[in-house]
Structure 1
Amino acid sequence: MKNIPIIILLFISQLTFCQKKLDNEKEIENIQNYNIEEISKTIDDKITIFGTLLTPQSDFEKILIIISGTGTISQKAHNYLTEFLLENNIGVFRFDKRGVGKSTGEYNDQAKVYTNDFLAIFSELKKSQTLENKEIGFLGHSLGGIVSLQTIEKQIKPDFLIQWSAPVGKPRDLLKYQINNGIKNYDKLIIGETTNERIKTLDYVFDLIDKNPNKTAWEIWKIAKKESKKYGINKKSFSNYLMPHKLEEARIDNTKTLKNIDFPTLVIIGKEDILVDPNQSKTKLDEIGNSNIEFKVMKGLNHFMTKKGTDEMTNEIYNVDLKFKEYLLNWINSQAK
């Protein structure tokens, strides 16, 4: 995947987001053993999102929709997990992100745009007779987790939900976690000679945003330009950050959505994740206190549920650990209407 100068995401997938361009496309093995249904949806007569529904040829009860993280990710990514689920009698729907694979338009990973694209393709998918009497789950990885929760905010509810290495609470807080971990994606957005200087700048900007919930990026910039010096902050240190789309994402807070979830939800993260903080995730979920949400930390695994040293420039980054796949499968199978 490629670096994206977006606040979040934080999302980095190098979240979540922001990763290098990966050779992430790979066909699943033995695809001839499964039913294949192509799904597409055109938005505003200009952009078409393409996806594929793969289902077992034998009877099955559940379908998992995978919403990928940041980067130019096609529906042919997450192939190892897809193969595993299909082999274990669970259908899978994947789709090409805008401007990637068969989907048209200009690539755009902004959370609002990505959410609207997912809502569009999901509305078309629901028309498929294959979904009748099936339990439908969302699996959002990293930025995809944010998208799934924003979808739920719009009253689109799955039967079950999996948040995989996705931020809990305010995704913007992950910038500090990533900066402390040496992630370089935000070097041009938040400038400073030391990590402490950059963290101080973030704290100032976030506080200013929260104190002015209805102001535009330009209005907040004018305030910061006048007063930041008295707080010991150079206006140049955040001038690249205070842009409209970054402000919009800085205001995302999924706390209320997670509090109100009334269906089975799994929040799962790797203990070695340097993009999303597993400790903050647990603390925030404890604060939320929703009994419908289960939290699981996978020891020895990273943001992608692979082990340290996996080549992120190849499709092997999607060759998720067997322990992770088995945990997901057992959890999904334990859910019933």
Structure 2
Amino acid sequence: MKILITGSAGFIGFHLVQSLLKTGAEVVGIDNINDYYAPELKFSRLNEAGISRKAENWHQPVKSEKNPNYTFIRMNLEDRTEMERLFETEKFDVVCNLAAQAGVRYSLENPHAYINSNIVGFLNILEGCRHNNVKHLVYASSSSVYGNNKKMPLSTDDPVDNPVSLYAATKKSNELMAHTYSHLYGIPSTGLRFFTVYGPWGRPDMAYFLFTKAILENKPIKIFNHGDLYRDFTYIDDIVKGVAKILNKPPQTSSRGKEKEIPYKIYNIGNSNPVKLMDFIETIEKAWGKEALKEYHDMQPGDVYKTFADVSALENDFYYAPKTTIEEGISEFVKWYSAYYKK
């Protein structure tokens, strides 16, 4: 199977590539290696996967020195010409779109980046799938589409018409765009609403990463809504196992009475076990053996109070069962962080 992974120098993309290569899949990864956070971390992930610094060059395929089944190309999703050429040349069986401008708070500062990457870029992905007989499109949505829904746990049957950030609005737009292409052109598509993913090689803008850096530098950590927040923290290995299963099983077209069912699915993918932010911070403190200096702040614009995933559909359809505890996951992150930044 030949698979395109977009965002392959990113946190989830890097881990997914590593997992798929172990199964013998042929993987092409693309990423623009932007400076939303330190590009050096992205190059380090690529290096871990055997991709040399030739990856700095735009539109030049670079073969992995560790696995001949992995090729990386630096490009922008919103580059229509290059994306058309990529799809026509490579003839992918499956596409997994993880590339996006991430971050809720950054969308307040740079909204255009979200439209370019998350809307224009996603349209180019859909068009590539449409014109090149892609058998399954899997794409990253987000738990942020639920906004400030009060009903818990959050279910894919719940309304998602009131996003509270532009980031969330672009992710909901992706779901609507995919539905349209599944309806019009029969492209099997599966959207995944990720819930707060964490672990080794993670994004430096994520809370657990920021907390760790501040603790080690004896600087105060910012705690929003005075610590009264809950997140469904999900360890990266549990996420990747779920995504890998989904890639192999596109939604099927079937008939219900006179109407044809659209090959389109949306799933929550999370831990289904919300943790209070203060308990999460305490786990990080214990892992480092050091107490954090704390600064308490009001709720940030665009933030949500609680995330809590109903993953029953994923459990039923794919036997999805996240197993990693917060203590285990943070311990693995601390080991990686110590080794990476020491190096």
TM-score interval w.r.t. the shorter chain? 0.3 to 0.5
Structure with larger RCO (C-alpha < 8 A, sep 6+):
1
Q: Which structure shows the higher helix fraction?
A: 2
